[in-house]
Amino acid sequence: MLSLIKRIRWTVKPAWRGTAIGETFATLENVFALPMTEGAVTQDSESVVFRFQQDGNTFYVKRFHGTKGLRSWLGQSRLRGEWNNLKLFAELGIPAAKLAAYGEERILTRAGRGALITEALENTEDLARLAYHKDARLKDPQWIKAVLAQVADYARKMHDYRFAHNDFKWRNILVDDNLTEPKVYLIDCPTGQRWFGPFLKYRIIKDLACLDKLGKYNLSRTQRLRFFKMYRGKDQLDASDKEMIRRIVSFFEGRE
């Protein structure tokens, strides 16, 4: 009876089909049988993330044991939101982790187990880690300018599409180790979605305020203002821009 109401939808991306790695990732059952030889990278009550290596390739495997509460019965699970948003980033020209395989099981309308596998972005670190370790790159004006220009571009592309990240923090922004031409990538966006009207405006402010939570401690006022001008595509700010800045810097007041 369960087989009649349980469905499993699983996809292996074309680049890996017909390969040994594709066979390893061929089914959801296969993925749940993978060993965590290096232990978990992160883990919570719903999911676990670990590194997996095969044939010289490194992947990040995220296994969901099931979404809790009302959300588990709704149309889009947290896991489905994450892989759909990675696809969207690719469509918008925003560099992000590449999908290798993904899918989930559903029992009637309830989300069950699922998994998402992405290709590792080698030689990268997240901006929050760089800030925590007081990395010397954060004192290099040209490096900062290059990184901020890319983050501003990605934010503008998302927001122009009426999409808000909803967790646009430094920990979810990776940068590679190129000192002169750093490349920036986005990761971990399971709750991002499109919004409209005043809801969109609020979410845009939240995205930019999330960036500024660490920005205000690690960037100069001039650098923060330059980032905003890059994001707005302007050299001169008008009254509405200045009001937007006020809303951004005050967004988390009393909540930190």
For residue range 156-187, list pLDDT tens digits in order.
999 999 999 999 999 999 999 999 999 999 99
| Cα-only R_g, the chain | 20
Q: What is the pLDDT of residue 75?
A: 60
pLDDT at 1 over 90: no
Q: CATH topology of 2-119 equal to that of 124-250?
A: no
Average pLDDT for 212-227: 98
Would you state the pLDDT for residue 71?
57
Q: Does domain 2-119 have CATH number 3.30.70?
A: no
List of long-range contacts for 14-19, beta carbons under 8 Å, 24+ apart: 15/100, 16/100, 16/101
- Do residues 137 and 71 lie in contact, with contact meaning Cβ atoms separated by under 8 Å? no
**Is 109 a residue whose pLDDT tops 70?**
no
Query: What is the mean predicted confidence (pLDDT) over 21-35?
Result: 97
Query: How much of the chain exceeds pLDDT 70, in percent?
Result: 93
Q: Is CATH 1.10.510.10 correct for 124-250?
A: yes
pLDDT computed for residue 170 by the predictor: 98
Tokens of 68: 């809790």
Residue 51: closest CA among 67, 35, 65: 35
Written as one letter, the residue type at 109 is T
Q: Could you tell me the residue ranges of all domains in the chain?
A: 2-119, 124-250
Encoding tokens for residue 253?
A: 């007041």
